Amino acid sequence: MSVYRHMVRPLLFRCDPEWIHERAMDLGERVGASAAGRNLLKGLFSFADSRLATEVGGLRFANPLGMAAGFDKNGRVIQALAAMGFGFVEVGSVSAHASEGNARPRLFRLPLDEAVVVYYGVPNDGAEVVAERVSGRPTDAPLGINLVETNTGRPVAAEAVVAEFAEAVKPFVGRADYIALNLNCPNTTGGVSPFDGGGHLRDLLQEYAVIDDLPPVFLKFTAHVDPARMARMLEAVDSFDFVKGFVFNLPPGKDYPLKSSAAEVDPLPGTLCGRPVREMIDEALRFWYARIDRTRHKIIGVGGISSAEDAYRKIRLGASLVQLYSALVFKGPGIVREINAGLARLLARDGYAHVAEAVGVDNEAKAVV
């Protein structure tokens, strides 16, 4: 970790963020393609402990730490990420049709805040191409596919969005271990979508209900603490048992207390991700865990996770699984081992035999189901 922070990162940060990301994809794809490369990654970065194993949505996870969508948009480095020790890997966002995304530059670093500002506009190769690619790259860790509407830059009728999501999932049936539906992508619709009202979400889930062998589905939506909006979503999903839980998306914008100057931040387009979002996401996690039926639905915690303590706090607030992305940029691949080893240590300190025992213990409404 210190070698990356003091020697590697300063060199990387001299280069354009997206160019570096693409080179990381190239390297990860090559290393992950061979058994020798995967064994090297496993030896360097993975950590195993039986206390970290858990089951969510009928799937087994060696540990609760996942790679969030956005890092590997097209399923190129899933084998490398799994070998590094992530308990699961989420690819995407992927749309039914290929998209180039927004014009560059569209990725920006804020080193003082350990944050990035993202304005990608969900560029991806399209569902058919990505599905074919991941089908030839088996992984030990569960593979999630994050689906989104195609970013055309034009308004789209709600019925067309429903049809797109239904079309996009079909190539992944039989390959993806779970599906995440990106209902409020801040880079396509500004965080607003036809699914907020509940009716169109029900229409979409009815389309999914007739698909044979559909994997577990998680709904990803903008983090909020609005009881009425929550009630609409929970009512819409109530009759669909394949919906196993929820993931929080980040709202568009950069409205957080930051160390970086306003002169640097204000001109940047896009959504801020990283450490500054942690408290906002934690509040949404606390709110949602207290009100869902936890015998049916689980939460994947995201937002500002850069240490074992960050991950453990989200678990104790109600997250059954957690994901990171920005921390990989600022702390390097060693963060995977550091967080998993730290989680095992924290669980042992608190007397938990398995990570599931710690889920929600700090939530004031933990007795409510």
Percent of the chain with pLDDT over 70: 96
Q: Pick the catalytic residue: 185, 204, 243, 327?
A: 185
Cα separation, 244 vs 300, whole angstroms: 10
Q: Cβ(235)–Cβ(198) under 8 Å?
A: yes
Q: How confident is the model at residue 6 (pLDDT cuts 50, 70, 90)?
A: confident
Q: Cβ(186)–Cβ(97) under 8 Å?
A: no
Q: What is the pLDDT of residue 175?
A: 94
Least confident of 2-6, 179-183, 354-358: 2-6
For residue 185, indicate whether it is catalytic: yes
Cis peptide before 105 (omega within 30 of 0): yes
Predicted confidence (pLDDT) per residue in 122-136, tens digit: 999 999 999 999 999
- Report helix, strand or coil for 16: coil
Residue 132 contacts by C-beta under 8 Å, 6 or more apart in sequence?
171
Q: Taking phi first (over 0 means left), then psi (-120 to 50 degrees means alpha), and beta for anything else, what does residue 116 get?
A: beta
Cα separation, 79 vs 67, whole angstroms: 12
pLDDT at 189 over 80: no
pLDDT at 191 over 60: no
Beta-carbon neighbour count of residue 46 at 10 Å?
18
What residue ranges do the domains of the chain occupy?
2-358
Kindly state which CATH superfamily the domain 2-358 is placed in: Aldolase class I (3.20.20.70)
| pLDDT, average across residues 306-330 | 96
Q: Which of 211, 207, 292, 304 is nearest to 246 (CA)?
A: 292
Predicted confidence (pLDDT) per residue in 269-308, tens digit: 989 999 999 999 999 999 999 999 999 999 999 999 999 9
- List Cβ<8 Å contacts ≥24 apart for 188-192: 188/121, 188/122, 188/148, 188/149, 188/151, 189/149, 190/252, 191/222, 191/249, 191/251, 191/252
Q: Which residue has the tokens 């398995």?
A: 354
Cis peptide before 93 (omega within 30 of 0): yes
Beta-carbon neighbour count of residue 1 at 10 Å?
12
Predicted confidence (pLDDT) per residue in 72-114, tens digit: 999 999 999 999 999 999 998 999 999 999 999 999 999 999 9
Cα separation, 70 vs 65, whole angstroms: 15
